[in-house]
Structure 1
Amino acid sequence: MDEMKKEHQKLHIAVFPWLAFGHFLPFLRLSNHLAQLGHRISFISTPKNLHRLSQIAPNLSSLVTMVPLPLPPVHGLPDSVESTSELPFRLVPYLKRAYDQLQPPLTEFLQNSDVNWLIHDFVPHWLPQVATRLGINSVFFSIFNASVLAFLGSPEEILLRDQQPLEDLTVVPEWIPFPSNVAFRLYEVIYH
């Protein structure tokens, strides 16, 4: 009987997408779907981005809470910028540095809430360890399909990529176990 009761228990789920609208919207759709199932959602992002998102449907507004975390200033990141849509690609690393500095306020929020699950994007490499330390279940939600993830490789490969020459992305990855000619062209790596 206790097992059945747990199965129908409503959860408090925190959602933390990367600061790009191509990520916000799938995370918001997922949040709305989970709220329709009766789960409470804390959608966490920066104030400006939360303001830009569509309003939550009235029937779900009691279950979805927007949690603003002010983006810390970072040298090189223009003031008031909170998403990739406001930046040329060459400045995105500064946005990533500011996003990484959200770790302390996000950790504080998680410590002081009753979150059961945390759904996060690919950028906060530090977040699964924080969730584990706090006893919160976490899951990576990818907006990319399986073929893209296969090409990018394991999380270890992705973390090492910053130390590799861009030309390494112009050949078929060594972990692809079948014949393929799918690889980036150098101009795609440089300009995207």
Structure 2
Amino acid sequence: MRKSDCSKLHIAMFPWVAYGHFIPFLHLSNKLAQKGHKISFLLPKGVQPKLENLSQFPNLIQFFPLLLPQVDGLPPGAETTAVVPMNQQKYLAFAVDQTRDRVESIFKVLKPDIVFYDTWFWIPDLARQLGISPVFYVVAASMSAGMVLKHKKLTRETTVEEAIELPPGYPSSSVRFKAEEAHALLFLAEDFGSGLSFEERMHKSMIGSDVVAFRTYREIEGPFLDYFAQRSGKLVLLSGPCLPETKTQQLDEKWVSWLSQFEPGSVVFCSFGSETQLQKDEFQELVLGFELCRLPFLVALKPPKGCSTVEEALPEGLQERVKGRGLVYGGWVPQELLLHHPNIGCFVNHCGYGSMWEFLLSDCQIVLIPQIFDHILITRLMVNELKIGVEVERGKNTQIPKESLSEAIKLVMDKKNETAKMLKANRDKLKHTLSSRHLQEEYINNFIQALQDLVKK
């Protein structure tokens, strides 16, 4: 292409319609805009007001709202996965696919150099027709992208043994699925809109790109990145996690006041992100596990399915038994700020990728309860490869027994325990590397240079 002066880029962003994708794409947008590059961000119309306050450079980051058509099977007005159950998200994907003509019109007017996307398999062909470079941006773990490159396509007839079999040359046998977790892989074979399975959609999106970019550091996922590059034949770029600066933000007084009742490093904090919603019996067993560990705790979870508040879902008598020691909260909490409070000593989490970066830069011990496909792989990376956390053992029907949760928490919180000491030492060493002031800056500068080289071709 392209343009004689490509020192400043114009980049379009078009993520999958989940806040776990909007926010990382916007974090990257902020890092690029900070260097003077222009961003055009495509998103559903109703999402824009919720993201605008996260834009640090409104003069360089412009939002372009898309009106999603109503399609059969999709709840009226639904625009994101936050309000659409997993089994209906295929209709959401199909609805966004119907905006292709609108996206094409926007691109014809804007004429960006590059478009970053993930789930939209039709973007590569559209982009090339308009002289735009398509870059597939992976906001989840690199090993999950590698698993999509399996040698055998998953189908509804795939056996458990075939589903959990690792692809040829996969870098580690310890980062794998257990037999009882095969359902988390077999969902890849299910319909995900426009006549494609989830696996086919991701594969077409990925293989059609000029470049595959990952939101990670080589220091965390190096072998998996090398494996992906070798298996896919794609140029791989790394943006780093692009986490925003939080030094100027302060924790609300209500949380400071509540946490001040306890000793440094003594409080167990649990959060499963904005989308995870447990069944009522799972929720009750979980909070009973926090009661059983006999440590102060703050549990921040969405009300379980069928309940409008967390209070109505609590086991009978629990509030009275843990009064003054435990708090179960059903609203949004400032997770990253809480993780940096000195009285928080343990973080119980689902191991979503965004949460992973936040706890890697904290001083908390880590207890993990993965829920879905990529969470499981990230958990195995944290536990088996990096050896910085523990995974709670599941019982019958893959449920989390309160005893298993309590034992895992007490293990990592016991300062005399050799395993706890080892986990802390490994995490401290990794945090020292990742928290280098210059590391993210070096990654983003190299990332931008590679993008500039791409548009010069």
What range describes the TM-score normalised by the shorter chain of this pair?
A: 0.7 to 0.9
- Per the TM alignment, residue 188 of structure 1 is displaced from its structure 2 partner at its CA by 3.3
Do 2:10 and 2:114's aligned partners in 1 also have CA atoms closer than 8 Å? yes
Give the length in aligned residue pairs: 181
User: What is aligned with 1:175?
Assistant: 168
Distance 1:10 1:86, change over 3 A: same
Please tell me whether the aligned partners of residues 111 and 132 of structure 2 are also in contact (alpha carbons under 8 angstroms).
no
**Equivalent residue of 1:188, what SS?**
helix
Q: Deviations over 1:136-190 (max 9, x none)?
A: 1121110122222112216x97xx54x4535466322343456726125234346
Give the aligned partner of residue 87 of structure 1. 84
1:34 to 32, 35, 43: 32
Give the partner amino acid of 2:165: V
Question: Structure 1 pair 178/69, CA: closer, same or farther in 2 (3 Å)?
Answer: closer
Counterpart code for 2:101: P
CA contact (8 A) 2:15 2:25 kept: yes
Contact 1:15/1:118 (<8 A) preserved: yes
Structure 1 residues not aligned, in runs of 5+ = none
Structure 1 stretches (4+) deviating beyond 4 angstroms?
189-192
Q: With a CA cutoff of 8 Å and minimum separation of 6, indicate the structure with the bigger relative contact order.
A: 1
Task: Describe the shift of the 1:57–1:25 C-alpha distance in structure 2 as closer, same or farther (beyond 3 A).
Answer: closer
Pair 1:179–1:113, CA change in 2 (3 A)? closer
| Alignment match, 2:157 | 165
Report the CA distance shift for 1:43/1:166 in structure 2 as closer, same or farther (over 3 A). farther
User: Retained in 1: the 8 A contact 2:147–2:167?
Assistant: no
Map 1:71-86 → 2, pairs under 5 A: 71-86=68-83
- Are the counterparts in 2 of residues 14 and 41 from structure 1 also a CA contact under 8 Å? yes
TM superposition shift of 1:18: 0.3
C-alpha deviations, 1:15-43, integer Å up to 9, x for none?
00000011011000001111111111111
2:132 match:
136
CA distance in 1, matches of 2:172, 2:32: 40
CA distance in 1, matches of 2:20, 2:93: 16
> 1: distance between equivalents of 2:46 and 2:92?
14
Confirm or deny that 1:19 pairs with 2:17.
yes
- For residues 174 and 24 of structure 1, the distance between their equivalents in structure 2, rounded to whole angstroms, comes to 30
How far did residue 108 of structure 1 move? Answer: 1.0
Tell me how far apart the structure 1 counterparts of residues 50 and 141 of structure 2 sit (CA, whole Å).
26
| Larger-Rg structure | 2
Structure 2: tracts of 5 or more residues without a match: 188-370, 373-457
> Identity of aligned pairs, percent?
30
Does structure 2 retain, via aligned residues, the 8 Å contact 1:19–1:83?
yes
Taking the aligned partners of 1:105 and 1:57, their CA distance within structure 2 comes to 24
TM-score where L is the length of structure 1: 0.83
Paired residue for 1:127? 123
Cα distance change of structure 1 residues 167 and 26 upon mapping to structure 2, 3 Å threshold: farther
3-state DSSP of counterpart to 1:53: helix
Q: Which amino acid aligns with 1:22?
A: G
Q: 2:99 aligns with which of 94, 98, 102?
A: 102
TM-aligned CA deviation for residue 48 of structure 1: 0.8
Q: Which letter maps to 1:183?
A: F
3-state SS in 2 of match to 1:141: strand
Q: Could you tell me how far 1:49 is from its partner in structure 2?
A: 1.4
